Amino acid sequence: MKQILQRKMEIFFYCLLFLSFFLVYKFFLSKKTKNLPPSPPSLPIIGHFHLLNKSLHRSLAIITDKYGPVLYLWFGFRPVLVASTPSAVEDCFTKNNDIVFANHPRLLASKLMGNDFTIMSWASYGPNWRNQRRISASEVLSANRVHLYSDIRVDEVRSMIKRLSGHGYKYRTVEMKSMFFELTLNIMMRMIAGKRYYGEHVKDLEEAKIFQEIVKDAFIVSGVSNIGDFFPFLNLIGVREYKKRVMTVNGEKDKAIQKLIEERRSLRSGFAMEEKEKTFIDVLLSLQETEPDYYTDEMIRGFTWVRLSCSAYSLLFLFLHILCCRMSSLEFRNSL
């Protein structure tokens, strides 16, 4: 009986806490902004969460069909702008508005894995973000350097084709998404550190297995929604396990990338590398020699992870898009 009473008191306390936060935010912290897009009716505290289901994009499509192409929603305490037409999206990224939308939402995972919002993928628009973008465009991913890595791309695609054709002419089921994901990660890792971790001809199987698990865990925690991002007060009382998980994965990721940095640093000492042999990490280490205060190992680790994760997804979707286009073309020709 005592435990039941205590449980009821806890529930009452949390409800009272939620209501207090809502009232403080509603009447003291929220900014009265004019000219906002239309917004569907919302509920206290949870905002428009009650309008969503498991399929987020379908839920938003239904809402925009009913209330208009541009909407202003509240996901808990986080404002969300929904633009569902090409013209509305284009307006968000024109010269007049692109800086407004250049900042990234401050999420817990972004803070922990983005070195306190200092890495390009999670940094706010400003001198640091512009400098990292410049480095990415002119040093790491310049047209000349991307061309120098063309042999890597050709070699990895050829290796994947050999794996696919290795069973002769027997029909078998192949999960292409995972194969393309491994292909893109191999391409990126050879460009970043001169190593491959998937498929055949992997030198260190144990290291490859550890790296695969780290990449898998890092992508999972980065993509999982954290309720504390929508209800900030829950970060203090209810999402400690999530934070602990993200910190653990981030520590393992930093340890693995730091090992790659030390390996490339040891290879660089003693002889000069040809431009074609330089990896992303080698380029950043060269910049570290001129500006050690800015190009710290922490910055290089974060920059390396951004290039790996973002480029891997970009290449994956590019390959899948090309594959879908060619399959559609073949189906069209066969139907003629």
The pLDDT value given to residue 13: 62
If asked whether residues 131 and 214 sit together in one domain, one would say: yes
**What is the spatial distance between Cα 181 and Cα 178, in angstroms, rounded to a whole number?**
5
**What is the spatial distance between Cα 318 and Cα 326, in angstroms, rounded to a whole number?**
12
- The least confident of 7-21, 170-184, 220-234 is 7-21
- The pLDDT tens digits of the residues spanning 55-74 come to 888 899 999 999 989 999 99
**What is the spatial distance between Cα 80 and Cα 72, in angstroms, rounded to a whole number?**
6
If asked whether residues 86 and 228 sit together in one domain, one would say: no
If asked whether residues 67 and 204 sit together in one domain, one would say: no
Share above pLDDT 90 across residues of the chain, in percent, rounded to a whole number: 9
Alpha helices, DSSP H, located in 201-296: 205-223, 234-237, 240-268, 280-290
Evaluate if residue 47 carries a pLDDT over 50: yes
Per the listing, tokens 């917004």 go with: 39
In a domain, 112, yes or no: no
If asked whether residues 24 and 161 sit together in one domain, one would say: no
Length of the chain counted residue by residue: 336
Domain total in the chain:
3
Phi and psi at residue 230, to the nearest 5°: -100, -25
Residue-range definition of the domain harbouring residue 203: 127-335
What contacts 24+ positions apart, CB below 8 Å, involve 183-186?
183/156, 183/157, 183/315, 183/319, 184/311, 184/312, 184/313, 184/315, 184/316, 184/319, 185/215, 185/308, 185/312, 186/156, 186/159
If asked whether residues 48 and 156 sit together in one domain, one would say: no
**What is the spatial distance between Cα 74 and Cα 50, in angstroms, rounded to a whole number?**
11
Evaluate if residue 109 carries a pLDDT over 90: no
The pLDDT value given to residue 186: 87
The pLDDT value given to residue 167: 59
Confidence of residue 177 (pLDDT cuts 50, 70, 90): confident
If asked whether residues 287 and 184 sit together in one domain, one would say: yes
In a domain, 209, yes or no: yes
